[in-house]
């Protein structure tokens, strides 16, 4: 099974959206393998968003992502990276379809509620920033025989 990294950003935590967002992933049938509430350090943020260093929006992104607690999660399931991206919707909430997390809850591109890895490789890299191997709990659910062929 594939793994992905999903993070409910500070605006999602402050707006009490954590439960609703987790419910969307659980209702879809994905397995929560790890989760923690944390304040991201500046070093973690720079590592996470290293491809954006030097871009005009980077200082604001850095300031925002370390401004309050986030919920960091590892989700498992078949094609979970692509599915999570689809469930989140486009980065700009104004372009995100209704029914997606950003389409339903996001108002501004700079406060778009959620982050998700964009590839399996990115998911592996991002998971390693926030979790050690002992914190990830893989397990089988009997429900999975009803979800996958």
CA 48 to chain centre: 12
Strands (E) in 39-133, as ranges, are 70-77, 114-116
Catalytic residue among 9, 106, 115, 127: 115
Phi and psi at residue 12, in whole multiples of 5°? -65, -40
Q: Is 115 a catalytic residue?
A: yes
Asked if residue 49 lies in contact with residue 61, where contact means CB atoms within 8 angstroms, the answer is yes
Evaluate the CA torsion angle 43, 44, 47, 52 in order and state its sign: negative
Phi and psi at residue 135, in whole multiples of 5°? -85, -10
Q: Which two tokens stand for residue 127?
A: 């998971």
Q: Which residues are identified as catalytic?
A: 115
């Amino acid at each position: 099974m594939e793994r992905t990294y999903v993070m409910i950003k500070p605006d999602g935590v402050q707006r009490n959206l954590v439960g609703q967002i987790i419910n969307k992933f659980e209702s879809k049938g994905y397995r929560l393998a790890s989760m923690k509430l944390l304040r991201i350090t500046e070093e973690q943020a720079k590592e996470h968003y290293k491809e954006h260093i030097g871009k005009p929006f980077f200082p604001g992104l850095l300031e925002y992502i370390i401004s309050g607690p986030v919920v960091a999660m590892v989700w498992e399931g078949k094609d979970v990276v692509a599915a999570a991206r689809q469930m989140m919707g486009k980065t700009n909430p104004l372009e995100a379809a209704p029914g997606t997390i950003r389409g339903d809850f996001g108002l501004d591109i700079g406060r778009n509620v959620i982050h998700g890895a964009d590839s399996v490789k990115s998911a592996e890299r991002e998971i390693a920033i926030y979790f050690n191997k002992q914190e990830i709990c893989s397990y089988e659910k009997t429900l999975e025989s009803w979800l996958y062929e």
